[in-house]
Amino acid sequence: MAVAGGERRGEGPPFHSGYTCNRCYLCPAQLKHRGVWRYHGDMAKLGLAGLLVLGLCVQRHEGAAYSYMKNGQQDWNLNEYKYTTYHPMSEISMWMEQVVKENPGLVSSEVYGKTFEGKNITLLKIGLQSGSKKKAVWMDCGIHAREWIAPAFCQWFVKEILRTYETDEHLNLMLKNVDIYVTPVLNVDGYEVSLANLNGLLAFQTRLWRKTRSKFQNAECDCYGTDLNRNFYANWGTVGISEDCCSQIYCGPRPLSEVEAQAVTDFVGSRSADILCFLTIHSYGQLILVPYGHPQIAAPNYDELVKKEERERERKGERMRVGLAAAEAIKSVHGMNYTVGTSPDVLYPNSGSSRDWARLWGIPFSFTFELRDKGEHGFELPEDQIQPACEEAYAGAHSIIRYVHDKEFGITTTTSVPITTPSAATATVALWTTILACSLTAATIL
């Protein structure tokens, strides 16, 4: 059941914030990032000695969220929020509250599910009041815990809309026709593990945690977590998965065994007729993936799909064109190349992804973004790349949203209509397939 947001106020340890240390290698830090040690754990677990060591060498983050937490005050504003750093969940939650507070009539929040550990899964709904029934766009970030640039992007995306919607006439029109649902962090449990110190000072490195944190009774395996992006009801358990619960790509004991996947399925599924496009944000690889992840699609409604084969082929061409237009928009910002195609063509086959589920459920446009980079830093993208990565990804997402909006509402004056022909699109995919075969290793699970 949906309840009002804001329940996280006051939760969490009061000093669970970012501390950086540039000069002392005795710091009880768990995360090394570009030569900077950072402690994101629970201060209460450190003990007196740990606090003394930390106190000798840390430099406190300059951040509004920190002072908010420290002083228990609510007098900070969004202008003080730093979008070019990676934030722990507690700060992202406060950021969401502040976005709602400072933008009444434009942004509201909704808790639409609970994680395995009982934490809120919260989205922001962005849209202007309209007399008529509105369409919607979906975006989720942070389905895989270690892909930190994704939650950073969702925050950037919201910030950019707030910054420009009053002066950008077309964006203003879109927000009157469409509500945009943004989930900054879907896999909250996993994200906190990736950012935190699990077991005190001697904890093993948890930075690269990917999965949820579920553990099922009667399970014969001791490992935690399921790959959320293998757990949706879309050819579940067929290709690109593992049945070993210790695997990074464990698909779970059954489809939708994960409450996080169930929450998205319930929320989006009940509104699917109105949702124009479904965007799910990951890293890394600089890809825009279109359905499907299964090389020979075998959906529950397979017969029906076969009858619609021809129409589907047309749509597939359209999705490719829309994806290629987004890649062009991305390239125009900082010159970065993004590859467009199906997962089997440009990455690897998989099943049970949210992107495929959304498409099977009838949402016409469904894309996975794999943000920067191409493997140099991988999941540990340095903070100095947050801004350019988000700037270009915003252009790509905006291109897609603009296209689906203009198509739905019959607007023809847009400059975002893709110009690439289907045949050129096919040729491009074939080219990139060849190039990528050389650059991506099978061991990289994104």
Cα Dmax for the chain: 69
Cα(429)–Cα(338) distance, integer angstroms: 11
Contacts of 209 (CB under 8 A, 6+ apart): 145, 146, 190, 193, 194, 225
370, 376, 380, 408: the active-site residue: 370
* Among the residue ranges 77-85, 120-128, 142-150, 298-306, the one whose residues contact Zn ion (CB under 5 A): 142-150
| C-alpha to C-alpha distances, 211 to 59, 104, 368, 407, nearest whole angstrom | 31, 35, 17, 36
Cα(365)–Cα(404) distance, integer angstroms: 8
Output 69 or 446, the one with its CB closest to Zn ion: 446
**Token couple for 424:** 């050129």
| Strand, coil or helix: 45 | helix
Which residue bears the tokens 């690109």?
A: 240
* Angle subtended at Cα 335 by Cα 84 and Cα 126, rounded to the nearest 5 degrees: 50
Least distance to Zn ion, CB of residue 208, Å: 12
* Among the residue ranges 17-25, 44-52, 275-283, 400-408, the one whose residues contact Zn ion (CB under 5 A): 275-283
Question: Applying CB under 5 A, does 282 fall inside the site for Zn ion?
Answer: yes
Least distance to Zn ion, CB of residue 446, Å: 5
370 is catalytic: yes
Least distance to Zn ion, CB of residue 89, Å: 18
| C-alpha to C-alpha distances, 145 to 184, 226, 227, nearest whole angstrom | 12, 11, 10
Residues numbered 397-416 forming contacts with Zn ion, rule: CB under 5 A: none
> Phi/psi of residue 149, each to 5°?
-65, -25
Cα(229)–Cα(446) distance, integer angstroms: 10
Least distance to Zn ion, CB of residue 195, Å: 16
Output 27 or 446, the one with its CB closest to Zn ion: 446
Binding mask 85-124 for Zn ion (x = CB under 5 A): ----------------------------------------
Output 209 or 403, the one with its CB closest to Zn ion: 209
Name which position in 38, 144, 207, 319 contacts Zn ion (CB under 5 A).
144
| C-alpha to C-alpha distances, 366 to 218, 280, 436, nearest whole angstrom | 36, 8, 22
Output 358 or 446, the one with its CB closest to Zn ion: 446
* Among the residue ranges 143-151, 156-164, 272-280, 320-328, the one whose residues contact Zn ion (CB under 5 A): 143-151
Output 152 or 276, the one with its CB closest to Zn ion: 152
Output 144 or 355, the one with its CB closest to Zn ion: 144
Residue with the closest Cβ to Zn ion? Answer: 282
Total chain residues near Zn ion (CB under 5 A): 3
Least distance to Zn ion, CB of residue 149, Å: 11
Least distance to Zn ion, CB of residue 84, Å: 22
Contacts of 7 (CB under 8 A, 6+ apart): 111, 120
Contacts of 271 (CB under 8 A, 6+ apart): 136
The residues that are catalytic are: 370
Residues at the contact surface with Zn ion, assessed by CB under 5 A: 144, 282, 446
